[in-house]
Amino acid sequence: MDMNELKALTFDDAIKQIEDGMIVGIGSGSTIELLIPALAKQLRNQQKHITSVCTSKKTAMLVENEGIPVMDVNEVEQIHLAIDGADEVDPELNLIKGGGGALFREKVIDAKADRFIVLIDESKQVEYLGASFKLPVEVDQFNWIMLSKQLEKDLSSRVERRMMDDEPFVTDNGNYILDIQLEKPMNAYDLHEYLIHLVGVLETGLFLDVTDQVIVGTQQGVKVLNRE
Protein backbone atom coordinates (compact mmCIF):
# COMPACT_ATOMS: atom_id res chain seq x y z
CA MET A 1 0.00 0.00 0.00
CA ASP A 2 1.20 3.52 -0.73
CA MET A 3 1.10 6.40 1.78
CA ASN A 4 -2.35 7.61 0.78
CA GLU A 5 -3.79 4.11 1.11
CA LEU A 6 -2.25 3.79 4.57
CA LYS A 7 -3.76 7.13 5.59
CA ALA A 8 -7.17 6.14 4.22
CA LEU A 9 -7.12 2.95 6.33
CA THR A 10 -7.59 5.14 9.41
CA PHE A 11 -10.73 6.96 8.25
CA ASP A 12 -13.48 4.51 9.26
CA ASP A 13 -12.28 4.28 12.87
CA ALA A 14 -12.26 8.07 13.08
CA ILE A 15 -15.59 8.73 11.34
CA LYS A 16 -17.46 6.20 13.46
CA GLN A 17 -16.66 8.35 16.53
CA ILE A 18 -18.65 11.25 15.07
CA GLU A 19 -22.21 11.53 16.36
CA ASP A 20 -25.14 13.44 14.95
CA GLY A 21 -25.15 17.08 16.12
CA MET A 22 -21.50 17.21 17.15
CA ILE A 23 -19.23 20.21 16.69
CA VAL A 24 -16.13 18.71 15.10
CA GLY A 25 -12.67 20.25 14.73
CA ILE A 26 -11.20 19.49 11.34
CA GLY A 27 -7.41 19.65 10.99
CA SER A 28 -5.11 20.45 8.10
CA GLY A 29 -2.74 18.61 5.79
CA SER A 30 -2.89 15.91 3.14
CA THR A 31 -4.43 13.26 5.41
CA ILE A 32 -7.30 15.56 6.33
CA GLU A 33 -7.74 16.63 2.71
CA LEU A 34 -8.28 12.96 1.84
CA LEU A 35 -10.56 12.50 4.85
CA ILE A 36 -12.93 15.39 4.08
CA PRO A 37 -14.72 13.88 1.03
CA ALA A 38 -14.89 10.47 2.73
CA LEU A 39 -16.36 12.07 5.84
CA ALA A 40 -18.91 14.10 3.86
CA LYS A 41 -20.01 10.96 1.99
CA GLN A 42 -20.49 8.93 5.17
CA LEU A 43 -22.38 11.77 6.87
CA ARG A 44 -24.74 11.97 3.89
CA ASN A 45 -25.23 8.18 3.85
CA GLN A 46 -25.91 8.02 7.57
CA GLN A 47 -27.98 11.25 7.55
CA LYS A 48 -25.82 12.75 10.29
CA HIS A 49 -25.39 16.51 10.58
CA ILE A 50 -22.37 18.12 12.13
CA THR A 51 -20.94 21.63 12.42
CA SER A 52 -17.22 22.09 11.91
CA VAL A 53 -14.55 24.42 13.19
CA CYS A 54 -11.51 24.41 10.94
CA THR A 55 -7.78 24.76 11.58
CA SER A 56 -6.96 26.56 8.32
CA LYS A 57 -8.58 28.64 5.62
CA LYS A 58 -7.91 25.84 3.13
CA THR A 59 -9.66 23.23 5.27
CA ALA A 60 -12.64 25.56 5.78
CA MET A 61 -12.96 25.97 2.01
CA LEU A 62 -12.79 22.21 1.38
CA VAL A 63 -15.30 21.46 4.14
CA GLU A 64 -17.74 24.14 2.92
CA ASN A 65 -17.46 22.78 -0.62
CA GLU A 66 -18.69 19.44 0.74
CA GLY A 67 -21.75 21.13 2.23
CA ILE A 68 -20.64 20.85 5.86
CA PRO A 69 -21.31 24.06 7.85
CA VAL A 70 -18.24 25.87 9.22
CA MET A 71 -18.37 28.05 12.34
CA ASP A 72 -15.93 30.56 13.76
CA VAL A 73 -14.17 28.97 16.73
CA ASN A 74 -15.10 32.00 18.84
CA GLU A 75 -18.77 31.27 18.34
CA VAL A 76 -18.82 27.71 19.70
CA GLU A 77 -19.13 26.80 23.36
CA GLN A 78 -17.70 23.32 22.97
CA ILE A 79 -15.76 21.21 20.47
CA HIS A 80 -16.86 17.62 20.96
CA LEU A 81 -14.19 15.96 18.85
CA ALA A 82 -11.18 17.11 16.82
CA ILE A 83 -9.52 15.07 14.08
CA ASP A 84 -6.10 15.99 12.68
CA GLY A 85 -2.91 14.61 11.19
CA ALA A 86 0.61 14.86 12.63
CA ASP A 87 4.21 14.96 11.48
CA GLU A 88 5.62 12.88 14.34
CA VAL A 89 4.09 10.84 17.16
CA ASP A 90 6.19 9.60 20.08
CA PRO A 91 5.42 6.61 22.36
CA GLU A 92 3.51 8.90 24.83
CA LEU A 93 1.33 10.14 21.93
CA ASN A 94 2.94 13.56 22.03
CA LEU A 95 3.22 15.18 18.61
CA ILE A 96 5.10 17.46 16.31
CA LYS A 97 2.66 19.29 14.06
CA GLY A 98 2.86 22.23 11.71
CA GLY A 99 4.18 20.65 8.52
CA GLY A 100 1.38 22.52 6.77
CA GLY A 101 2.03 25.70 8.74
CA ALA A 102 -1.35 25.61 10.52
CA LEU A 103 -0.01 24.77 13.97
CA PHE A 104 -1.48 27.75 15.86
CA ARG A 105 -5.07 27.20 14.78
CA GLU A 106 -4.57 23.45 15.14
CA LYS A 107 -3.47 23.88 18.73
CA VAL A 108 -6.39 26.19 19.50
CA ILE A 109 -8.89 23.64 18.22
CA ASP A 110 -7.19 20.30 18.96
CA ALA A 111 -6.30 21.23 22.53
CA LYS A 112 -9.75 22.67 23.26
CA ALA A 113 -11.64 19.62 22.00
CA ASP A 114 -13.20 17.21 24.49
CA ARG A 115 -11.54 14.43 22.52
CA PHE A 116 -8.63 14.68 20.05
CA ILE A 117 -7.80 11.92 17.61
CA VAL A 118 -4.84 11.82 15.25
CA LEU A 119 -4.62 9.98 11.95
CA ILE A 120 -1.19 8.94 10.65
CA ASP A 121 0.56 6.41 8.49
CA GLU A 122 3.19 4.32 10.25
CA SER A 123 6.12 6.44 8.99
CA LYS A 124 5.15 9.16 11.52
CA GLN A 125 5.89 7.05 14.61
CA VAL A 126 9.21 8.02 16.21
CA GLU A 127 11.19 7.19 19.35
CA TYR A 128 11.49 10.87 20.32
CA LEU A 129 10.12 14.16 18.94
CA GLY A 130 12.47 15.79 16.47
CA ALA A 131 13.97 12.45 15.42
CA SER A 132 13.10 12.97 11.77
CA PHE A 133 11.05 16.16 11.39
CA LYS A 134 12.12 19.77 11.94
CA LEU A 135 10.19 21.46 14.73
CA PRO A 136 8.01 24.28 13.35
CA VAL A 137 7.55 27.44 15.41
CA GLU A 138 5.23 30.26 14.34
CA VAL A 139 6.84 33.69 14.84
CA ASP A 140 6.03 37.31 14.17
CA GLN A 141 7.64 38.74 11.02
CA PHE A 142 9.01 41.76 12.93
CA ASN A 143 11.87 40.06 14.79
CA TRP A 144 12.23 36.74 12.99
CA ILE A 145 15.96 37.14 12.26
CA MET A 146 16.72 38.03 15.87
CA LEU A 147 14.74 34.98 16.98
CA SER A 148 16.47 32.67 14.49
CA LYS A 149 19.88 33.73 15.73
CA GLN A 150 18.88 33.32 19.35
CA LEU A 151 17.44 29.85 18.72
CA GLU A 152 20.53 28.73 16.81
CA LYS A 153 22.73 29.86 19.69
CA ASP A 154 20.59 28.59 22.58
CA LEU A 155 19.68 25.24 21.01
CA SER A 156 22.90 24.66 19.03
CA SER A 157 20.62 23.74 16.15
CA ARG A 158 20.04 24.90 12.60
CA VAL A 159 17.03 27.16 12.08
CA GLU A 160 15.45 27.97 8.71
CA ARG A 161 12.63 30.30 7.79
CA ARG A 162 10.13 28.19 5.84
CA MET A 163 9.92 29.02 2.13
CA MET A 164 7.31 28.14 -0.47
CA ASP A 165 7.82 28.66 -4.22
CA ASP A 166 10.92 30.77 -3.48
CA GLU A 167 8.90 33.12 -1.25
CA PRO A 168 8.71 33.14 2.55
CA PHE A 169 5.78 31.01 3.67
CA VAL A 170 3.19 33.17 5.48
CA THR A 171 0.67 31.53 7.81
CA ASP A 172 -3.08 32.21 7.92
CA ASN A 173 -2.21 34.55 10.81
CA GLY A 174 0.30 36.59 8.75
CA ASN A 175 3.38 35.14 10.48
CA TYR A 176 6.49 33.19 9.49
CA ILE A 177 7.40 29.62 10.38
CA LEU A 178 10.88 28.84 11.69
CA ASP A 179 11.84 25.17 11.29
CA ILE A 180 14.33 23.95 13.89
CA GLN A 181 16.51 20.96 13.07
CA LEU A 182 17.04 19.59 16.58
CA GLU A 183 20.54 18.20 16.82
CA LYS A 184 19.87 15.85 19.71
CA PRO A 185 16.90 14.48 21.69
CA MET A 186 15.54 17.17 24.02
CA ASN A 187 12.91 17.21 26.74
CA ALA A 188 9.86 18.34 24.77
CA TYR A 189 8.21 20.01 27.79
CA ASP A 190 11.32 22.07 28.60
CA LEU A 191 11.76 22.97 24.95
CA HIS A 192 8.14 24.14 24.61
CA GLU A 193 8.43 26.19 27.83
CA TYR A 194 11.63 27.85 26.61
CA LEU A 195 10.20 28.66 23.15
CA ILE A 196 6.75 29.86 24.16
CA HIS A 197 8.13 32.61 26.40
CA LEU A 198 10.30 34.22 23.71
CA VAL A 199 8.89 37.54 22.52
CA GLY A 200 7.68 37.05 18.96
CA VAL A 201 6.83 33.35 19.28
CA LEU A 202 3.12 32.74 18.76
CA GLU A 203 3.08 28.95 19.19
CA THR A 204 5.23 25.84 18.86
CA GLY A 205 4.56 22.64 16.96
CA LEU A 206 4.93 20.57 20.14
CA PHE A 207 1.50 19.15 21.03
CA LEU A 208 2.01 17.67 24.49
CA ASP A 209 -0.57 15.77 26.58
CA VAL A 210 -3.45 16.64 24.26
CA THR A 211 -3.89 13.49 22.18
CA ASP A 212 -6.53 10.97 23.24
CA GLN A 213 -6.10 8.48 20.44
CA VAL A 214 -3.79 7.87 17.48
CA ILE A 215 -5.04 5.74 14.59
CA VAL A 216 -2.15 4.36 12.54
CA GLY A 217 -2.41 2.96 9.02
CA THR A 218 0.21 0.19 8.70
CA GLN A 219 1.03 -2.38 6.04
CA GLN A 220 -0.45 -4.94 8.46
CA GLY A 221 -3.71 -3.02 8.94
CA VAL A 222 -5.03 -0.42 11.39
CA LYS A 223 -3.46 0.05 14.82
CA VAL A 224 -5.29 2.10 17.48
CA LEU A 225 -3.24 3.67 20.29
CA ASN A 226 -5.07 5.16 23.28
CA ARG A 227 -3.66 7.56 25.84
CA GLU A 228 -3.09 5.73 29.13
Catalytic residue among 106, 122, 152, 228: 106
Contacts of 190 (CB under 8 A, 6+ apart): none
Of 23, 50, 84, 180, the one binding ligand 5RP (CB under 6 A) is 84
Q: Are 76 and 86 in contact (CB under 8 A)?
A: no
Q: Which stretch binds ligand 5RP (CB under 6 A): 37-45, 46-54, 93-101, 220-228?
A: 93-101
According to the binding rule CB under 6 A, does residue 25 interact with ligand 5RP?
no
What long-range pairs does 17-22 form, CB within 8 A, spacing at least 24? 17/81, 17/115, 17/117, 18/43, 18/48, 18/50, 18/81, 19/48, 19/80, 20/47, 20/48, 20/49, 20/50, 21/49, 21/50, 22/50, 22/51, 22/80, 22/81
Q: Which stretch binds ligand 5RP (CB under 6 A): 39-47, 96-104, 164-172, 211-219?
A: 96-104
Of 25, 27, 130, 200, the one binding ligand 5RP (CB under 6 A) is 27
According to the binding rule CB under 6 A, does residue 134 interact with ligand 5RP?
no
| Smaller CB separation from ligand 5RP, 84 or 203 | 84
Q: What distance in Å separates the CA atoms of residue 173 and residue 200, rounded to the nearest whole number? A: 13
Tell me how long the chain is.
Answer: 228
30 is in an annotated binding site: yes
According to the binding rule CB under 6 A, does residue 130 interact with ligand 5RP?
no
Catalytic, 106? Answer yes
Query: How far apart are CB 93 and ligand 5RP at their closest, in Å?
Result: 14
Q: Are 86 and 207 in contact (CB under 8 A)?
A: yes
| Smaller CB separation from ligand 5RP, 25 or 99 | 99
10 is in an annotated binding site: no
Q: What distance in Å separates the CA atoms of residue 5 and residue 33, rounded to the nearest whole number? A: 13
| Smaller CB separation from ligand 5RP, 49 or 57 | 57
Q: What distance in Å separates the CA atoms of residue 24 and residue 35, rounded to the nearest whole number? A: 13
157 is in an annotated binding site: no
97 is in an annotated binding site: yes
* DSSP for residue 123: G
Of 10, 28, 204, 213, the one binding ligand 5RP (CB under 6 A) is 28
84 is in an annotated binding site: yes
85 is in an annotated binding site: yes
Of 16, 28, 36, 93, the C-alpha closest to 54 is: 28
- Paired with 226 in beta bridges are 213
HSE on the CB side for 128, CA within 13 Å? 11
- Cite the annotated binding site by residue number: 28-31, 84-87, 97-100, 124
**Among all residues, which ones are annotated catalytic?**
106
- Cite the annotated binding site for substrate by residue number: 28-31, 84-87, 97-100, 124
The residues binding ligand 5RP (CB under 6 A) are: 27-31, 84-87, 97-103, 106
